Amino acid sequence: MAKKEEIIEAAKETAKKVAVKAAQKAVEVASEVVAEAKEALEKAAPEANAKANANAIITPEMAKIPAGPLELKWTNYKNHQKLVNPANKRRLDVIVIGTGLAGASAAASLAEMGFNVLNFCIQDSPRRAHSIAAQGGINAAKNYQNDGDSVYRLYYDTIKGGDYRAREANVYRLAEVSNNIIDQCVAQGVPFAREYGGLLDNRSFGGAQVSRTFYAKGQTGQQLLLGAYSALSRQIGKGKVKMYTRYEMLDIVLIKDENGEPRARGIIARNLVTGRIERFFAHAVVVGSGGYGNTFFLSTNAMASNGSAAMQMYRHGALFANPCYAQIHPTCIPKHGDFQSKLTLMSESLRNDGRIWVPKKLEDAKRLQAGEIKGRDIPEEDRDYYLERRYPAFGNLVPRDVASRAAKERCDKGYGVNNTGLAVFLDFSDAIQRLGKDVVAQKYGNLFQMYEKIVDENPYENPMMIFPAIHYTMGGIWVDYELQTSVKGLFCIGEANFSDHGANRLGASALMQGLADGYFVLPYTIQNYLSDQIGVPRMSTDLPEFAEAEKAVQDKIDRLMAIQGKRSVDSIHKELGLIMWDFVGMGRTAESLKTAIEKIDALKKEFWSNVYIPGEANALNNELEKALRLADFIEIGRLMAVDALHREESCGGHFREEYQTPEGEALRQDDKFSYVGCWKYMGEDKEPQLIKEPLDYEFTERKTRNYKN
């Protein structure tokens, strides 16, 4: 019996072993199969991805471009869009980030309509946003000068100035509402310059053959912003806008709707005085946070101007369009030392009367560089007015990108006029002779004074020295015709979006676009979105989405504070700026851009392992603020280089040295690159995906830009 049992036991044991073995084998085989499948999948993925890339297209329908002829699109849109009735407006909250021309005008207009607005700015007062520093003027198609201007001509100049890389429908709308802006500002009490007859005066700006620029001395941006700030103040006083000064948005909160679609429902912001992280809910979020020119450290932007809001949108799925389109302004005061914190712009309006030149003879340039002679010592016949020579039709008033490159060309050849060899002259001696010193002083006095304070030299007696500097970013967050990003309920206005300037912005058009977006476009288009949101109740900021977003922000701050390395934030930012200027600057090549990407990747490691931030996170801490912004500038710098590398053509502010005409002019590749390059975030340290919005020119013939005849 015992034996039988033993035999059975043994048999069971054997069977078990066999079974285990078989199972093991099966598992092995299965895992092999899985591994193979995985390998095959991995192999296939990039191809599939690449295929998806090639096919990732934004159609005019997706961009919500209205049907119909160009001049009726905006009218048609307004006639058929959905509106929100007054009773429902009261129940809807809108967050507006920024108080520049776009942000302040949008916040004021939305509040006037009846929406509840929460408006945030990083400065101590909404009046200080960097729009205030715009000097020269604002364009409009009024044709008050009877010189042949029209909405169509402003549209055409803008499209052409942008090197045919902007959307036709958007630009036409911009030109259309330009006239309303001037009316609105005059009604607010903006003291534009006037003629003796009491009517408004105009002057000329680059890229136009008409005088359509309205101005208020050399302080046009200030006066327009104070107009918008007044309108905003009125709404704050009425309680329709709740103003949060010295607050910085650190993230946007997305909450899924009943169909699982994420919608922008609020923000996480840091109170810059107390360091407290706070949560805010709204039915929609509008971002007017300006451009990202400070990626270059030295730019004409204000010290606190930054690209972090754009990066927050980008990380949540909003597309970053044409990041490589950055404008280099030809007339800035040249750099004078390593301690330099920013570059100062000299208004483009100076090119109305100032003539740009360098010496004809190299030996004169050498003596200027050595400080042996001054500009006024060089006789007329030895001066090379190179813009008038190369571009007889537009002369000193060619668009900014053309003027900047021409200055670089002369300086590269050794004709620079100051000790660094990186400057050209902007000379008023002709104008002073023709008009008299008093008239010149009346027109440009404050600019001359500004120049004299910085350079310690009198520009009435000796020509000004100028050199190009980063000034504006045409690229930005992709928006549809309604100014909505690819995230539902998230809107982007002003310089922060990519919309209207193509590859190059004309002078006096930034003010126009900021105010067009804020006063006359967004307040309409946002209603098309909000009309569907009237049933959405105000949500609690205790929701898990808010808690998670706040925790992520807190973790990032903790991580930065914990590094305790050896380098100051500014020292790393200056290094980034040099990489950008040297390799992603005025003349780019495939090689320089690849170098830039490598260097930026290395700098990112350096930043995240060796930055030193003093003080506490939960208190006022300027160094922490700067570090948070720099972390994003590093990512933007890389994205700019990636975009510039992919765009194998020269257009507007983007100049690839491989693509130029024999005369050194930008050479577009319309057959390959006539599209908006939109980048989709794919995760930390992953390459972004390219999505294209083709620019099919339906109404305007594309030409090579010609400013010669």
Question: Which one-letter amino acid corresponds to residue 287?
Answer: V
Q: What is the β-pairing status of strands 675-680 and 490-492?
A: unpaired
User: 């190179």: which residue's tokens?
Assistant: 386
| Nearer residue to other proteins within complex by CB, 201 or 388 | 201
CB of 445 to other proteins, least distance (A): 11
Task: For other proteins, give the closer residue by CB, 324 or 512.
Answer: 512
- Shortest distance in whole angstroms from residue 655 CB to other proteins: 27
For other proteins, which is the closer residue by CB, 103 or 266? 103
DSSP H helical segments within 413-436, as ranges?
A: 429-435
Between the CA of residue 29 and those of 15, 35, 245, 294, 371, what are the distances in Å? 21, 10, 64, 57, 81
Instruction: Provide the minimum distance between the beta carbon of 339 and other proteins in the complex, in angstroms, as a whole number.
Output: 5
Q: Which CB, 456 or 671, lies closer to other proteins?
A: 456
Q: Is 97 helix (H, G, I), strand (E, B) or coil?
A: strand
400 as an active site residue: the answer is yes
Radius of gyration of the chain (CA): 29
387 three-state secondary structure: helix
Say how far apart CA 669 and CA 659 lie, in whole Å. Answer: 9
Burial of 342 (0-12, 13-18, 19+ CB in 10 A): middle
Amino acid identity at 447: L
| CA–CA–CA angle 343, 497, 399 (5° rounding) | 55
CA distance 411 to 328: 15
Q: How far apart are CA 648 and CA 591, in angstroms?
A: 12
Closest by Cα among 116, 119, 114 to 104: 119
Q: How far apart are CA 198 and CA 401, in angstroms?
A: 36
Smallest gap from Cβ 623 to other proteins, in A, equals 7
193, two tokens: 């310059």
| Separation between Cα atoms, residue 357 and residue 345, nearest integer Å | 18
Give 71 or 457: the residue with its C-beta nearer to other proteins. Answer: 457
Structure-token pair, residue 104: 């302040």
What minimum distance in Å lies between the beta carbon of 489 and other proteins?
Answer: 22
The DSSP letter of residue 519 is I
Q: Tell me phi and psi for residue 83, to 5 degrees.
A: -120, 165
Three-state DSSP at 208 gives coil
Of 260, 324, 264, residue with least CA distance to 654: 324
Pick between residue 85 and residue 449 the one whose CB is nearest to other proteins.
449
- Output 87 or 199, the one with its CB closest to other proteins: 199
**CA-based nearest residue to 399, from 160, 154, 656:** 160
CB of 195 to other proteins, least distance (A): 7
Round to the nearest angstrom and report the end-to-end CA distance of the chain.
116
Residues 661, 601: contact at Cβ < 8 Å?
no
Q: Closest CB to other proteins among 204 and 223?
A: 223
Distance CA 545, CA 198 (A): 57
The minimum distance between CB 506 and other proteins, in angstroms, equals 21
Q: Which residue type sits at 73?
A: K
CA distances from residue 612 to 294, 552, 559, 607, 619 in whole angstroms, order as listed: 20, 21, 12, 9, 17
Q: Which is nearer to other proteins, 304 or 424 (CB)?
A: 304
Question: CB burial class (10 A; 0-12, 13-18, 19+) of residue 433?
Answer: exposed
Q: Which is nearer to other proteins, 200 or 539 (CB)?
A: 200
Q: Which of 128, 279, 355, 400 is the catalytic position?
A: 400
The residues annotated with a catalytic role in the active site are: 400
